[in-house]
Structure 1
Amino acid sequence: MEIAIQYITEVWEILLEAAPYVLFGFFVAGLLKGFLPEDFVARHLGSDKKGAVLKASMFGVPLPLCSCGVIPAAAGLRQQGASKGATTSFMISTPETGVDSIAITYALLDPIMTIVRPVAAFISALTAGTLVDMFPEKPKPGKTEFTPLNFAPTTLKKEEECTSGCCSSSAGKRFKDKFMTGMKFAFGELVADIGKWLFIGILIAAVVSTFLPVTFFQDYVGDGLLSMILMVVIGVPMYVCATASTPIAAALALKGLSPGGALVFLLVGPATNAATITVVAQTLGKRVAFIYVSSIAVTSVILGLAVNWLYAKLGLSVFEWINNVETHQHGIIAYASAIALIILVGKQFVGRGGQKHGASCGCH
């Protein structure tokens, strides 16, 4: 009974710490959805031209799409003429981070990791995309390009634009419509897409916090290269979105995992899983799939070693930061946010279980 109470307390503490930042991340994601033109990404990446890999790596960083949602989005870009390299870069940087996961990184890890995480996602995506374009796969005779499933272009034709609900003679009305569209996406479809996995991540993090010895990594793994390779082995087949991976990484850091090891998990876990690798192999080719996985693994370990060096050089400890965060008292905002988040996620399973949500799996 004592252990059960300790576990439930740990779940509640993580939720209190994360909830305000998760809601803020959802809000910013809604603003991106409402005010960023639907065809913005496609216009810049929908052609095989110089700089596309760089742009794909940059555009993917703030977008709130998980590894499920990025597949049809990337497929649509590929169909519009984006190179395999640009498509690969987009498929890596997008699920590895996003405005929602950046917010929760600040809540559960520390300011350094909040900056390092999106930068590392950009570097890993740029590396993989560049390698894919450098080593193109020779097309097989008779093989045609894939057609993405369940992808419907969202760009309106010019003659249709003024018949949509977004058009109005009033600029204020347009602003209101865009804002409401974004908020419905953020606190409806995005919550449905990510909320379940966030709670699963919190439950796993609480298991780690409750049952794993504090000195586990020092005693059995160490804080160097071996721990990072272990994170690669765990992260590659595992399905975990960027937001859900954060509480798990924070819990592992409290048990002695180095900042570099935590970064490796934050990069590899969201970007790779068995389903994504299979889709990449089928749609972009086996060579691209090999480069996709190997470049993420190698780049994340190199970046992890660099992050360990950075923390040592600055004399900082992610363990001490997280430990200090856990000891402070939570205010009314934390409690209200936690309750609001529980209600938002709960609504997706009560009375709406049969409803489909697909906007977050489209080309945002």
Structure 2
Amino acid sequence: MVRIFRSSIIETTGVIIILFVLFLLTTDIGDSYSTAIPDSLLNLNTIFLSILIEALPFVLVGVLIAGLIQIVVTEEHIRKCIPKNKVLAVIMSCIIGSLFPGCECGIVPIVRRLISKGVPIYAAMGFMLTGPLINPIVIASTYMAFGNDFKIAILRMVLGFFIALVIAFLVSIFVKGTQFKNENIATSNDESRNQSLSHKLWAVLTHSIDEFFDMGKYLIVGALLAASVQTFMPARALLETGSGVISSLLVMMGLTYILSLCSEADAFIGASFSHLFPTHSILGFLIFGPMLDLKNTFIMMSVFRFKFVMFMLGMVASVIFVTLLMVQSFL
């Protein structure tokens, strides 16, 4: 326990110092030094901090829920709740995810704990894909972003749910095991069953701290890479290439992956492109980003094997791309 908090304090101090220095560069305090720093680096710094500030609250909520799952939820609970039938398990996981007000930044630690408790990986993936995409908060923000019009919100919900079902079914066919990088993740909480409430709360806090620093390192790397691409990639050239049915969809899917926006706010950015791109491309932006973006890819790499993360990235992108091309003439 002491070792955990020592390492946590050291890592926290380092992160705070780095973020404080970066913050100084974006405020008036750092103005006297800004003449020596290129504008592109200052812009990178601003985007990087904005991504972190947007993501950290959701990561904190996610690790707290993961801590509660680790201590409170038992393997017996999981076995009773998850149907043995794969089809029913996938459908139920996607429905629960649809009702869960989560964000892609905080969903991975929750999924990690669910799998460690015995949830099949295909059901966990269904939950992970639908949770940030079509929960009530996201649907409400989509409705407001597109001028109080239900069309895009309903299309995002229906097509997103269908795509998540397809991907979860494919995972059930092609993927076996937990796919954890470290297969020795503790799954037992027998010791906590007879402990007092204060001990259980302390255990929840301890597990949450562990989860936060496991995920936090990869979140920082992902945010920095996303900010770098946003800063140095010529956005105008990217937008100019998206004039066709296929190219516009590829551009918007690539853009949402790079931007790594929070799913609760991405609809407002997507709506700003509605006069430039067709409906199916806007839906590609709204569906692909919440399921998997650059930042979230790195967070997944902290938990799952690299091959599995790449498999999920390729499959999610392919299923979304094919589905939207098939329905684009009806939109």
**Selected match of 1:296 from 316, 321, 327:** 316
Give the structure 1 partner of residue 269 of structure 2: 248
Structure with greater helix percent? 2
Change (3 A) 1:108 1:144: closer
Residue identity in the other structure for 1:249: G
- TM-superposed CA distance for 1:70, in Å, is 0.6
Give the structure 1 partner of residue 285 of structure 2: 265
Q: Show the 5 A alignment for 1:126-141.
A: 126-137=165-176
- TM-superposed CA distance for 1:258, in Å, is 0.9
SS class of match (1:221): coil
Give the structure 2 partner of residue 76 of structure 1: 113
- TM-superposed CA distance for 1:250, in Å, is 0.5
Q: Show the 5 A alignment for 1:1-364.
A: 50=86, 51-109=88-146, 110-137=149-176, 145=183, 147=185, 220-254=241-275, 256-311=276-331
Distance 1:276 1:97 in 2: 17
SS class of match (1:69): helix
Change (3 A) 1:133 1:102: same
Distance 1:227 1:45 in 2: 42
Give the structure 2 partner of residue 194 of structure 1: none
What TM-score, normalized to structure 2? Answer: 0.55
Residue identity in the other structure for 2:256: G
Higher relative contact order at CA 8 Å, sep ≥6: structure 1 or structure 2? 1
Change (3 A) 1:115 1:299: same
Task: Report if aligned partners of 1:61, 1:121 keep a CA contact under 8 Å in 2.
Answer: no
Residue identity in the other structure for 1:123: F
Task: Report if aligned partners of 2:79, 2:118 keep a CA contact under 8 Å in 1.
Answer: no
Change (3 A) 1:253 1:115: same
Task: Report if aligned partners of 2:242, 2:250 keep a CA contact under 8 Å in 1.
Answer: no
* Cα-Cα RMSD: 3.9
Task: Report if aligned partners of 1:64, 1:94 keep a CA contact under 8 Å in 2.
Answer: yes
Distance 2:85 2:113 in 1: 16
Distance 1:112 1:261 in 2: 14
> Share of identical aligned residues, percent?
21
Deviations 1:31-56 (A, max 9, x none): xx9xxxx96x9577667653222211
Residue identity in the other structure for 1:126: L
Task: Report if aligned partners of 1:45, 1:56 keep a CA contact under 8 Å in 2.
Answer: no
Distance 1:106 1:45 in 2: 33
- TM-superposed CA distance for 1:101, in Å, is 1.2
Residue identity in the other structure for 2:167: A
Distance 1:89 1:290 in 2: 17
Change (3 A) 1:48 1:158: farther
Change (3 A) 1:64 1:103: same
Distance 1:296 1:45 in 2: 27
Task: Report if aligned partners of 1:57, 1:89 keep a CA contact under 8 Å in 2.
Answer: yes
Unaligned runs of 5+ in 1: 1-32, 162-211, 312-364
Change (3 A) 1:77 1:288: same
- TM-superposed CA distance for 1:295, in Å, is 2.0
Change (3 A) 1:145 1:47: farther
Count of equivalent residues:
217
What TM-score, normalized to structure 1? Answer: 0.51
Change (3 A) 1:55 1:240: same
Distance 1:304 1:121 in 2: 10
Deviations 1:143-199 (A, max 9, x none): 852538xx999xx969989xxxxxxxxxxxxxxxxxxxxxxxxxxxxxxxxxxxxxx
SS class of match (2:132): helix
Change (3 A) 1:43 1:117: farther
SS class of match (1:74): helix
SS class of match (2:328): helix
Task: Report if aligned partners of 2:241, 2:247 keep a CA contact under 8 Å in 1.
Answer: no
Change (3 A) 1:134 1:245: same
Change (3 A) 1:289 1:47: farther
